Amino acid sequence: MKKIVCEMCQGSDFTKQSGEFICNGCGMKYSLEEAKALMVDDGEAPAPAASASNSQKDTELENLYVIARRAKDSNDSEGAQKYYEMITMKDPTSWEAAFFSVYYKSMSCKIAEIQSAAIQVSNCYDTVLGLVKDHVQGEAEQVAALKQIATHAMSISIMLFNAAKSYYDGIDISIKSRYTQEYVNRGIASVNVAYILGGKLDSQFGSYAEVNNLSVMLWKTGVSNHKLLVIWLSNKEAAKNEIIGIGNHIRKYEPSYTDPEIKTSGCYVATAVYGSYDCPQVWTLRRYRDNTLAKTWYGRAFIRTYYAISPTLVKWFGHTDWFKNMWKGKLDSMVEKLNSEGVEDTPYEDKEW
């Protein structure tokens, strides 16, 4: 019994439609004559494909683009990755295939792979932008390509960051501190997906006004997540200065932009005990600090003393069970008392004092 074997994907599942044979595996289309040439007996290995004409190769490539874009439009990450990788083998000058094959691979990463996935996206920019510059003709066409790259880079930056944050927020308080550095590493790598592309677009395509807007969009995306990590970093001032530096880049094109409020201090002991700066217990304590302690001279003196000493204590001992156990009972009692007195435990933004 005879069967058709697709020369593109080696599949043998075909549908006949309008006089053509369409491979259900990869979407390649064959005329009746072409399909006959690909027929083999069941169990027989397919014969080596004859050299295809340029027109046939062009048709195969066009079909792959159609299938890859269809998978992209339907959010089929696995399919999009597969077909864009096939395109890179046939068309190494394609910026689209070079970018989206990496993009969709990163979209499918596991939690433990977030940092490496983000780095892979950032590392592909030089190749992808070089292909746009060398093989896409005309400013309008280049800008259209760069818009696709920038919007998807922004999307993957946000997605990877949110995945890292959601995972960290869901870790049990008793072991949370063990995973803080992993969260920071994943978060910074995700932020850099936006920062790095914004800088490269500015340096390589900065003469295009529309591209300036893309750089601003990417920088703002990075800043919005970077500021959430500062409180967890050992060198908070360096991170704050980096965010301010990004703000200076933004102001080149958007003079009215103002830097966000950046938290460089917090309830260090409570954060170490409860595993998060943003949780009901710490929200209660932060309200008490701002609305009660900070209103008296001796309260402010206590806060300043606390912030002078507690960062060092937490740095030395915050990861140890004995430190957290020693403080947890005391803080639990204090939080319970404050809640009973009407201090809320809902989300809270710190006050300046």
For 272-297, write each residue's pLDDT tens digit: 788 777 788 888 998 988 888 888 88
pLDDT recorded at residue 222: 97
Provide the residue range defining the domain that includes 182: 93-253
Mean pLDDT of all residues belonging to the chain: 86
How does residue 207 score in pLDDT terms, banded at 50, 70 and 90? very high
Span 54-62, average pLDDT? 75
220 and 289 together in one domain: no
Among 175-189, 216-230, 316-330, name the most confident range. Answer: 216-230
Higher pLDDT: 25 or 20? It is: 20
- Give pLDDT, residue 293: 87
Ranking 6-10, 168-172, 227-231, 329-333 by mean pLDDT, the lowest is: 6-10
Shared-domain flag, residues 100 and 242: yes
pLDDT attached to residue 341: 92
The Cα–Cα gap between 60 and 30 comes to 10
3-state secondary structure 70-119: HHHHCCCHHHHHHHHHHHHHHCCCCHHHHHHHHHHHHHCCCHHHHHHHHH
pLDDT tens figures, 307-343:
667 766 776 776 778 888 888 888 999 999 999 999 9
In a domain, 220, yes or no: yes
Do 206 and 331 fall into the same domain?
A: no
Asked if 29 and 115 sit in the same domain, the reply is no
144/293 same-domain check:
no
Of 206, 233, 253, which marks where a domain is finished?
Answer: 253
Same-domain status, 126 and 236: yes
Please name the helix (run of DSSP H) or strand (run of DSSP E) that holds residue 127, with its range, or none: helix 125-135
pLDDT at 143: 96
Whether 87 is covered by a domain: the verdict is no
Q: In the structure, what pLDDT confidence band is assigned to residue 17 with cuts at 50, 70 and 90?
A: confident
Q: What angle do CA 89, 94, 97 make, to 5 degrees?
A: 70
Q: How many residues make up the chain in this entry?
A: 353
Q: Is residue 17 part of a domain?
A: yes
Model confidence at 27, in pLDDT bands (50, 70, 90)?
low
Residue scoring higher pLDDT (244 or 233): 244
Pair 146, 205: CB distance under 8 Å: yes
What pLDDT was estimated at residue 180? 83
pTM of the model: 0.68
Residue 112 lies in a domain: yes
For 276, the 3-state DSSP assignment is coil
Backbone angles phi, psi at 177, to 5 degrees: -60, -25
Query: Do 216 and 136 share a domain, yes or no?
Result: yes
Return the pLDDT at 61. Answer: 87
Residue 127 sits in the same domain as residue 228:
yes
How far is residue 231's CA from residue 271's CA, in Å, rounded to a whole number?
A: 10
More reliable by pLDDT, 212 or 232: 212
Q: Are residues 306 and 238 in the same domain?
A: no
Query: Per-residue pLDDT tens for 123-147?
Result: 999 999 999 999 999 999 999 999 9
Q: Residue range 255-271: average pLDDT?
A: 80
Residue 226 and residue 142 in one domain: yes
- Judgement on whether residues 150 and 245 belong to the same structural domain of the protein: yes
Structural domain contains residue 36: yes
Torsions phi, psi of 319, nearest 5?
A: -85, -5
In a domain, residue 25? The reply is yes
Q: Decide if 320 is inside a domain.
A: yes
pLDDT score of 50: 46
pLDDT of residue 141: 96
**What would the 3-class secondary structure string for 10-60 be?**
CCCCEEEECCEEEECCCCCEECHHHHHHCEEECCCCCCCCCCCCHHHHHHH
What the block records as the tokens of 261 is 């409020």
Number of independent structural domains in the chain: 3
Q: Grade residue 36 by pLDDT with cuts at 50, 70 and 90.
A: confident
pLDDT bin (cut points 50, 70, 90) of residue 169 is confident
Do 290 and 241 lie in one domain? The reply is no
Q: Within a domain: residue 68?
A: no
What mean pLDDT do residues 254-277 have?
Answer: 80
27: CATH = 2.20.25
